[in-house]
Structure formats: C-alpha cells, structure tokens
C-alpha cells in the first residue's frame, strides 16, 4: 500500500521533489509515507522507525517544505533566525543530518549549520552570527553556544529530537531540558526514537502536544533485508575466526563492534598485524580522527572499521554489506542499532555475531527482543566448546540490565585472551604505524596499514605518515 504512494502525492514543493529525484529515490519509504503528511499538517510526532529506513528524510523533507515560505537570500543575519532546531546524540549523526538537510534543501535558500563538540567553537560561532535557519546540534556544544549568547531561539518553530533514546542513554536529559526551556512554547515538536522506554515516554509527555504516534514494524524492529548469523566460538579463537571471515571473498568491508574503547583500538591493531587494513572509531578519538576514519571506510580505503556503540550510532554507510559483533552488546537494543548500519534503504546486509559461552545469555536476551532465533552456523575449524562453566564475574557481566537502554560499562572483553594477552609489536606480516590507542591527537597517526596495503594501495594525503613519526 505504501509502495503506491509517490513523493509528488505527499504534497512537497517542486524544489524539494527535484532534490529527492536527484538522489534517485523513486518512492517514499514507510516512515516517509507516514510522517511527511502529518508533519506538513503541523502536527507533533512521536515516531519509532527502524534504523536505515530513511527517517532523516522523513522529518527533513517536510521541515524544509514548512520553512520554504521564509527562505530568503538576504545577507542580513537578522533575516536568518533559527527556525528549526534538530538535536542529535553524536557528532557523526549531527554531521549526517546536516548533509541530508543540505542535499534535500539544495534548491532552497535556507541556511543550515551543524554544531558539535570536539572541534573549535569559532567557525560554529561565526555561522551562528551569520544567521542560520536550520541548526543541527549535539546538546552539550549547543549549550556552550547558548552560554556564549550567540544563539537565539525566539523565532524557532520546529524542534526535532533524533535518536532520543540514545540521547537519554548518554545522559543528555538535563541538557535537553535546559534547551527546551529556551524554546518558544508555540512550536512543532518531533521526537524520533528507536525504542520507547518509560523515560522516553516521560520526555515525550513533557515535550509533545497531542502527538501523532508512528510506529514502523513495531513487532519486528529488525530490518528484513538483513540476514543474521551466529557463530559459537571459544574466546581464544575469536580473532582467528574474525580474520578468516574478513578474508572470505564475499566480505569486502566490515563494521566490527566491540564493547570498549580499549578493545576497539586493540582489535584494529591486531587486524593490521594480520594484513587487514583497519581503523578504530570510538569516543576517545577527536572529531577529525573520527570523521577521517569514517571517510576512509566509506571510500573503501580500509577493510575493517572497529567501533564502539556510541561512536557508531547513526552512521550511514552506503552499501555496507557486513556488520560483525566481535562482542555482543550488553543491552539487546544495541544489537538492533548495530546491525541497522547494514541493509539500509533496501540493500542486502549480513549481521554476524561471534558468541562465546559466557555471552550466551546476551544472545538469549537479543533473541527475546527480536522474538526470533538467530541462525547458528558452525564454521569448520572453529567449533566452540561452550560448555565451560561460567564464572560469577561472567554471570554478572551478562546479566540483563535493569533498565533497557542503560549502558552497562562491562569489562567483559577483558575475559577474551586477545584483550588480556600483551600486544607484541613487530610482526613480520604487518606494519603498525602509531597504534590507535597511542594517544596521539593527530588523526593521521591512527591509521593502521597492512603490509598488503602499504605495497599496493596509495593512501589519501590526509593519512600519509609524517616522516618524523616513522623514526619514532
């Protein structure tokens, strides 16, 4: 039924339709077909949608349409007050939303800016001073600018909270409330969240007025174009199995999830030692490092991007074929977020989980949430002995969290030998250039080159290693 609807029928302006056509979208996705008319009608919305379903366009297209009437080419900052505020939990998501707004709004003279932490405030301050109609922001940095008095919300008509559940997980609720207090009462508010916990409903109650509730595929929140596979494997075989999987012909690139920043850096290092180009992306990286790692991955410069949950939230990687859970997440909802990085917008994706005996309870929790059994496939040479009795520590680490969506800072990864054994540099097959965890703040220091890549693939200029580093 939704497939029958066209973008033209949704009532969007000619300029927006042209931009959508330029992107090659033929029909609206389910969330777009449902949300666009409601948002165009000025209603508040509380929406849950699968990741990768096109929800960004779902709110951006009608938002642009609603602001088209005030779009102008004046050079006066006063003519460009903040009309719409879009808040997102992470810098990466803020950047992606900003890119989407620019893409879909390219035929409209509306100014957009993204403000997020980890980079200098000055250019952001300058864009705010120049005037901006659509402001995409992470809560913390937005408050910094508010304190500097460079942002004014007296003309703000639309508020969007994207990935609201993650914002609450990350402890942004007080920041969100402080921003809310500065917005005009008379406005349209849109709340997008992957899950609807008690906390989210409470936030929605305080924020939304008579919202239209939109839920896409509530029962099975997993994108159907993703296939799921579980390999049971002993912890000390995980790395070997991962390498085996990555070296298979069908797998050209994989986004690999681990639970901690330390594990991410270490795993990227170990992969590089085994001739696999790898980068790590996590919260300890500065913004430039994170952006460059993501760009290198998107460009196909690296085979493996090892990520923590927070860093990977909201990433949109075109045609990503594989997500690998090297470690299962503590909260089952994070499994859905993780695998939602693949199989986006109708393309096929594969989610592979490497599960050891002490993670079986986490697997059960995930299956319970999905209401489905994930397919178990034995890989010859990696058959697990999972009958090992679990220690008390392991039981504690895999216990279901009391509150869904609450991050449990587990040290489970430390149980895996690859994270407990010391790293021995200087393997004959790999060149490790300034390990990811070396703490250097220069982004180019964090790339790991496999020997194969050093020999064959040229790196983008940004990743070239400064001569002085080679001597270190």
Question: In the complex, which residues of this chain contact ligand AMP (CB under 6 A)?
Answer: 25, 28-29, 32, 52-57, 316, 344-345
Q: How far is the CB of 290 from ligand AMP (least distance, A)?
A: 18
Which CB sits closer to ligand AMP, 169 or 316? 316
Q: How far apart are CA 326 and CA 413, in angstroms?
A: 10
Pairing of strands 226-232, 304-307: unpaired
Strand partners, 45: 190, 212
Shortest separation between residue 273's beta carbon and ligand AMP, angstroms: 33
Run of H or E residues at 159: strand 158-161
**279-283-288-294 Cα dihedral, nearest 10 degrees:** 40
Sign of CA dihedral 16, 21, 27, 29: negative
- Nearest distance from C-beta of residue 423 to ligand AMP, angstroms: 35
Q: Is the distance from CB of 134 to CB of 67 less than 8 angstroms?
A: yes
166 versus 238: smaller Cβ distance to ligand AMP: 166
The per-residue b/e assignment along 332-362, b for 16 or more CB within 10 angstroms, e otherwise, is bbbbbbbbbbbbbeeeebbbbbbbbbbbbbb
In whole angstroms, the minimum distance from the beta carbon of 52 to ligand AMP comes to 5
Q: Which two tokens stand for residue 175?
A: 């920041």
Strand partners, 148: none
Between residues 49 and 241, which has the closer beta carbon with respect to ligand AMP? 49
The nearer residue to ligand AMP, 309 or 316, going by C-beta atoms, is 316
Q: Which is nearer to ligand AMP, 25 or 107 (CB)?
A: 25
Q: How far is the CB of 294 from ligand AMP (least distance, A)?
A: 14
d(CA 87, CA 98): 11
Sole residue written with tokens 């959508």: 20
Q: Kindly tell me which of 54 and 211 has the beta carbon lying closer to ligand AMP.
A: 54
Q: How far apart are CA 39 and CA 17, in angstroms?
A: 16
Smallest gap from Cβ 260 to ligand AMP, in A, equals 26
The whole-angstrom separation of Cα 144 and Cα 287 is 17
| CA proximity to 443, closest of 129, 135, 65, 119 | 119
Q: How far is the CB of 158 from ligand AMP (least distance, A)?
A: 17
> Measured from the CB atom, is 223 or 412 closer to ligand AMP?
223
């Amino acid at each position: 039924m939704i497939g029958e609807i066209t973008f033209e029928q949704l009532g969007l302006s000619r300029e927006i339709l042209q931009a959508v056509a330029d992107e090659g979208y033929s029909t609206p996705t389910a969330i777009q077909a449902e949300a666009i008319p409601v948002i165009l009608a000025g209603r508040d919305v509380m929406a849950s949608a699968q990741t990768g379903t096109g929800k960004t366009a779902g709110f951006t297209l009608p938002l642009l349409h609603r602001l088209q009437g005030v779009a102008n080419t004046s050079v006066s900052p006063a003519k460009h007050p903040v009309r719409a505020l879009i808040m997102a939990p992470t810098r990466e998501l803020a950047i992606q939303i900003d890119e989407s707004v620019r893409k879909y709004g390219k035929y409209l003279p509306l100014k957009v800016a993204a403000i997020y932490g980890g980079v200098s405030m000055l250019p952001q301050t300058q864009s705010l001073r120049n005037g901006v109609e659509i402001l995409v922001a992470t809560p913390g940095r937005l408050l910094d600018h508010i304190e500097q008095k460079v942002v004014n919300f007296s003309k703000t008509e639309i508020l969007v909270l994207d990935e609201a559940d993650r914002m609450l997980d990350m402890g942004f609720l007080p920041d969100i409330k402080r921003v809310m207090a500065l917005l005009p009462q008379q406005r349209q508010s849109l709340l997008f969240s992957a899950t609807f916990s008690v906390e989210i409903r409470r936030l929605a109650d305080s924020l939304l007025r008579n919202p239209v509730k939109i839920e896409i595929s509530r029962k099975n929140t997993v994108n159907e174009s993703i296939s799921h596979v579980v390999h049971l494997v002993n912890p000390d075989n995980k790395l070997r199995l991962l390498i085996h999987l990555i070296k298979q012909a069908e797998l050209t690139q994989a986004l690999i999830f681990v639970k901690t920043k330390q594990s991410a850096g270490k795993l990227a290092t170990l992969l590089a030692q085994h001739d696999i180009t790898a980068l790590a992306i996590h919260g300890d990286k500065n913004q430039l490092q994170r952006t460059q790692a993501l760009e290198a991955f998107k460009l196909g410069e690296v085979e493996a991007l090892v990520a923590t949950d927070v860093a990977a939230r909201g990433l949109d990687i075109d045609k990503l074929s594989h997500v690998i859970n090297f470690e299962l997440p503590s909260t089952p909802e994070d499994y859905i977020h993780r695998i939602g990085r693949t199989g986006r917008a109708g393309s096929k994706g594969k989610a592979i989980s490497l599960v050891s005996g002490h993670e079986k309870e986490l697997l059960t929790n995930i299956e319970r949430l999905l209401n489905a059994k994930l397919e178990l496939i034995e890989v010859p040479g990696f058959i697990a002995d999972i009958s090992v009795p679990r220690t008390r520590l392991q039981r504690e680490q895999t216990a279901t969290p009391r509150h869904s969506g609450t991050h449990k800072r587990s040290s489970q990864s430390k149980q895996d030998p690859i994270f407990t054994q010391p790293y021995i540099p200087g393997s004959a097959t790999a060149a490790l250039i300034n390990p990811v965890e070396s703490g250097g703040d220069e982004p180019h220091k964090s790339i790991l080159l496999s020997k194969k890549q050093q020999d064959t693939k040229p790196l983008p200029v940004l990743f070239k290693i400064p001569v002085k580093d080679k001597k270190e």
